[in-house]
């Protein structure tokens, strides 16, 4: 069974509970770890390490995605994240990455936070 990452949009940050795994609540899209693994290698490694996020809750500023945990991505850094995913999708032309691009774009339009559940 492949390892998967889940990405969704948080409608109300106050209702988020870091102790619960709820990808269905955030209408998450699933992305195979192989695609995100690519981002952590070579040309994207330095870019993803500059993505300003929070690990598990808003009291823990972080840079990067919490690969094995939960990441909260604030609206003001979603464009940066989108650019990384779009560039990666040029290489792979993946339906999964296309869905993630749509999800990030929606969050940007709605000025909402995103959630990432790592593997």
Count up the domains in the chain and report the number: 1
* C-alpha distances out from residue 29 to 16, 19, 43, Å: 18, 20, 24
Q: Is the pLDDT of residue 42 over 90?
A: no
More confident residue, 24 or 2: 24
- Asked whether residue 106 is assigned to any structural domain, the reply reads yes
13-34 pLDDT, tens digit each: 999 999 999 999 999 999 998 8
Q: Is the pLDDT of residue 1 over 60?
A: no
- Asked whether residue 85 is assigned to any structural domain, the reply reads yes
- Asked whether residue 12 is assigned to any structural domain, the reply reads no
Enter the pTM of the model: 0.93
Domain span at 91: 75-112
- Asked whether residue 117 is assigned to any structural domain, the reply reads no
- Asked whether residue 59 is assigned to any structural domain, the reply reads no
- Asked whether residue 91 is assigned to any structural domain, the reply reads yes
- Asked whether residue 28 is assigned to any structural domain, the reply reads no
Please give the average per-residue pLDDT across 30-44, as a whole number: 79
Confidence tier at 107 by pLDDT (50, 70, 90): very high
44-98 pLDDT, tens digit each: 667 888 999 999 999 999 999 998 999 999 999 999 999 999 988 888 888 999 9
């Amino acid at each position: 069974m492949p390892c998967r990452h889940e990405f969704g949009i948080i409608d109300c940050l106050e209702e988020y509970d870091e102790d619960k795994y709820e990808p269905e609540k955030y209408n998450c899209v699933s992305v195979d770890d192989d695609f995100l693994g690519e981002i952590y290698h070579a040309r994207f490694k330095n870019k993803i390490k500059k993505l300003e996020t929070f690990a598990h809750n808003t009291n823990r500023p972080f840079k990067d995605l919490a690969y094995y945990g939960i990441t909260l991505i604030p609206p003001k850094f979603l464009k940066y994240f989108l650019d990384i995913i779009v560039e990666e999708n040029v290489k792979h032309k993946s339906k999964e990455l296309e869905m993630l691009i749509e999800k990030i774009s929606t969050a940007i339009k709605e000025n909402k936070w995103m959630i990432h559940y790592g593997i």
